[in-house]
Structure formats: structure tokens, C-alpha cells
Amino acid sequence: MRRTLLALLFFVGLVAIWTAMVRAKIWSPVLLPSPHNVLDYLISAWRDGSLVSAAAVTLRRLLIGYFIGLAIGLPLGLLTASLTFVEDTIGVLALGLQTLPSVCWVPLALLWFGQTEGAMLFVVIMGTVWSVVIATDTGVRTIPPIYARAARTMGSRPLHRWVHVILPASLPYLISGMKQGWAFAWRSLMAAEIYVTILTGFGLGHLLHYGRELNAMDQVIGIMLVIVVIGLLADKILFSPWERFLHRRWGTGRV
């Protein structure tokens, strides 16, 4: 209760500072709209359906791309951690490509796929896969070898060991890798949507882009807020249950 109240106070304070800055008229209202204006925009965009449909388009791309990225990245990470050949090839590739900002995939995706959903998905997948590969690889390598040895003495065979020892033992790393992958997927998709207009769907990034074109700062800030809120919600829904489990079992999470 006390925690919620303090957090609430913090955010009310933030909005109050914002309002005070608008009132002080340091910047033109075109550059810094009041919280009220932004709220007005959000309400009207909600009413005319543009906000909901854009969020739906964006989330669909994000989720599909993210889960494909996970489905590729997790097994690849397990392979790089267990086979030297894959470590020397895919592992190096992943390390290199992870440093490549995901916007850099956009030109390539456009030329390969044209202005299609495929291009969007490609950018999201490329943004996700490599960080997931590296997190999984690190996770598997960090497991104390005694777990696998103990399982071996109890008669565990390699496949059983992968499923029942290696995977659960690296869970803390896998979860943080999946979180990082999610953040990268979000970034990649927003970059792609802002840069590329595609006719198959109008996402949040496009609303942001047109907000800029129209000099509609209330729209720009409003959409940014929506993106932040979706990110927060996704974190709570997708990852919090896992993290609570980890903290309870491993006894981590509090200093």
C-alpha cells in the first residue's frame, strides 16, 4: 500500500513538473504540449479507432517476430554452447551481428522483401535472434558442472539432461535473455515502422512518423507514452511470473 502510494506520488509529481513547464511558457506549445492536450489526442485516437488498430498491427508483428526469434535463438544458443564447431561459426556470427544496430537491417529487408509484412518480420527477427543466442549461450556455460555430474550419477542420459538439468539450471539467464530479446524486438520494429511505410498495416511507428510530418506534438508524445505503457505491460505479463518463480526458488531478487 505504502509502496503503491509512493509510486503514485512520483508519477503525479512528474506530470506536475511537466504542467509547470508548459505553464512557464519556456517552449512554444507546438513543441511542448500540455499533458491535457496529449490526453485529448489519446482519447480522440481511441474513439476513432486509429490507436487501437495501430496498436493491434504493431503488437501482432512484434509477437510473431519475437516468438519466431525465440524459436530460432534458443536452440541456436544451446548449440553454440555445446558444439565447438557451432561456437566457432554461428557463435562468432551472433556476436558480430548483435552489435549491428537493428535499424541497419531495414534497407536490406526492403530490398529483399519489398514493402511487405515480411520485411517487418525480418527486421524484428534479426533484432531478436542474436541477443537470445548470446544470452542462452552464456546461461548454459555458467551452470555449475556439478549439476550435470550429479544427474549423470543418477542415470540421466544426454537428452534427459538437456531438458531436466541444463535448461532449468540456466533459466535465470534464459529469462534475462528473453527480456533483452523483447526489448530488441520492440526497438527494431519501431525503427522499421518509422522508416518504412507499408500498405499492409498501419502501426504505432507510423502514427509517430505522421505525428512528426504533421507537426502534431501531442500525437508524438501520446504515441510514445502508449509504446512505453505497452512495454511495461508486456514485461509484467510475459516475464514477471517467471521472475517471481526464479526469485522464490533461487532466493534472489533482494539485497
Cα distance between residue 248 and residue 193, in whole Å: 39
List, in sequence order, the alpha helices (H) in the chain. Answer: 2-23, 35-47, 50-82, 84-86, 92-98, 105-113, 117-142, 145-153, 158-161, 167-169, 171-195, 204-213, 217-234, 240-250
Cβ proximity to another protein, 4 vs 153, nearer residue: 153
Sign for the CA dihedral angle at 220, 223, 227, 228 comes to positive
Q: Is residue 190 within the footprint of another protein (CB under 8 A)?
A: no
Among 31, 153, 199, 213, binds another protein (CB under 8 A): 153
116: left (phi over 0), alpha (psi -120 to 50) or beta: beta
Cβ proximity to another protein, 164 vs 236, nearer residue: 164
DSSP 114-133: -SSHHHHHHHHHHHHHHHHH
To the nearest whole angstrom, how small is the minimum distance from the Cβ of residue 81 to another protein? 18
Segment near another protein (CB under 8 A); pick from 62-70, 154-162, 179-187, 195-203? 154-162
To the nearest whole angstrom, how small is the minimum distance from the Cβ of residue 136 to another protein? 16
To the nearest whole angstrom, how small is the minimum distance from the Cβ of residue 159 to another protein? 12
Q: Tell me, what amino acid is at 231? A: G
Q: Is residue 146 within the footprint of another protein (CB under 8 A)?
A: yes
- Grid cell, residue 156, equals 540421466
Q: Is residue 255 within the footprint of another protein (CB under 8 A)?
A: no
Cα distance between residue 203 and residue 205, in whole Å: 5
To the nearest whole angstrom, how small is the minimum distance from the Cβ of residue 153 to another protein? 4
Among 72, 86, 171, 230, binds another protein (CB under 8 A): 171
To the nearest whole angstrom, how small is the minimum distance from the Cβ of residue 48 to another protein? 49
Q: Is residue 84 within the footprint of another protein (CB under 8 A)?
A: no
Q: Is residue 47 within the footprint of another protein (CB under 8 A)?
A: no
Q: Is residue 154 within the footprint of another protein (CB under 8 A)?
A: yes
Task: Please give the DSSP secondary-structure letter assigned to residue 143.
Answer: S
- Grid cell, residue 15, equals 506530470
Site string for another protein, 222-251 (x = CB under 8 A): --------------------------xxxx
Q: Is residue 151 within the footprint of another protein (CB under 8 A)?
A: yes
- Grid cell, residue 64, equals 510473431
Q: Is residue 156 within the footprint of another protein (CB under 8 A)?
A: yes
Closest of 177, 94, 100, 167 to residue 135, by C-alpha? 177
Q: Are 218 and 40 in contact (CB under 8 A)?
A: yes
Q: Is residue 159 within the footprint of another protein (CB under 8 A)?
A: no
Residues that bind another protein (CB under 8 A): 146-147, 149-156, 160, 164-165, 168-169, 171, 248-251
